[in-house]
């Protein structure tokens, strides 16, 4: 009698578990194109020194909003030059700072990469803005101040730029034009072709 009771209880448990498994929907298979692909060794080397931690990005995002709302920012000349060359304006940069997201943090340079969009002729285009964080000490306490060092239209909107590439972009921040004077005389080891002739 006891064995029959145990069997009935076991059958009831199995039936209950089967019903529960039927109620629970099976997880949808993830498409192959959305699966995370491992980074190549070259890409891992490029992203060294770049932080993409969600917690740090959220903190940087809140500090960015607060600094912009308080007016503690400055748009550098390099950013305005890029804006004129690539067809966006300063208010587009500010729109990205207000509505975009911090995608990457460069701790050594104390810079953030902010990704967003702007509209040009009713077309939505991606825009990346790089800001540099400076902490200013005031009698009321420490205040975050942002320098908008550059802004550009990225070729790949979801691609995080490396530190090396960012350094190349900012290499021309110096406003002084580098130039050299050419002399009339011939170079060493070359035959003389005479002095320059004045054009008609």
Question: Mean pLDDT, to the nearest integer, of 16-29?
Answer: 72
pTM of this prediction?
0.62
Question: Mean pLDDT, to the nearest integer, of 6-26?
Answer: 77
- 85 or 180: whose pLDDT is higher? 85
Question: Mean pLDDT, to the nearest integer, of 32-58?
Answer: 70
CB 111 within 8 A of CB 100: no
Domains in the chain: boundaries: 49-172
C-alpha–C-alpha distance, residues 170 and 135, integer Å: 21
* pLDDT tens column, 51-84: 878 888 888 888 888 888 888 888 888 788 878 8
Sheet containing 73-75: order of strands: 73-75, 141-152, 123-138, 111-120, 101-106
């Amino acid at each position: 009698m006891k064995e029959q009771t145990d069997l009935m209880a076991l059958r009831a448990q199995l039936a209950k578990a089967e019903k529960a498994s039927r109620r629970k929907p099976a997880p949808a298979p993830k498409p192959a194109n959305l699966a995370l692909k491992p980074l190549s060794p070259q890409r891992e080397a490029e992203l060294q020194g770049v932080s993409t931690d969600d917690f740090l990005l959220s903190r940087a995002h809140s500090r960015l909003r607060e600094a912009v709302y308080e007016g503690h920012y400055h748009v550098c000349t390099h950013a305005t030059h890029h804006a004129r060359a690539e067809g966006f304006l300063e208010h587009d940069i500010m729109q990205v700072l207000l509505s975009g997201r911090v995608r990457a943090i460069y701790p050594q340079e104390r810079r953030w990469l902010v990704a967003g969009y702007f509209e040009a002729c009713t077309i939505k285009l991606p825009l990346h803005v790089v800001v540099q964080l400076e902490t200013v000490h005031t009698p009321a306490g420490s205040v975050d101040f942002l320098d908008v060092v550059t802004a550009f239209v990225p070729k790949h909107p979801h691609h995080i730029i490396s530190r090396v590439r960012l350094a190349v972009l900012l290499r021309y921040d110096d406003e002084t034009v580098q130039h050299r004077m050419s002399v009339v005389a011939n170079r060493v080891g070359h035959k003389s072709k005479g002095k320059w002739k004045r054009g008609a």
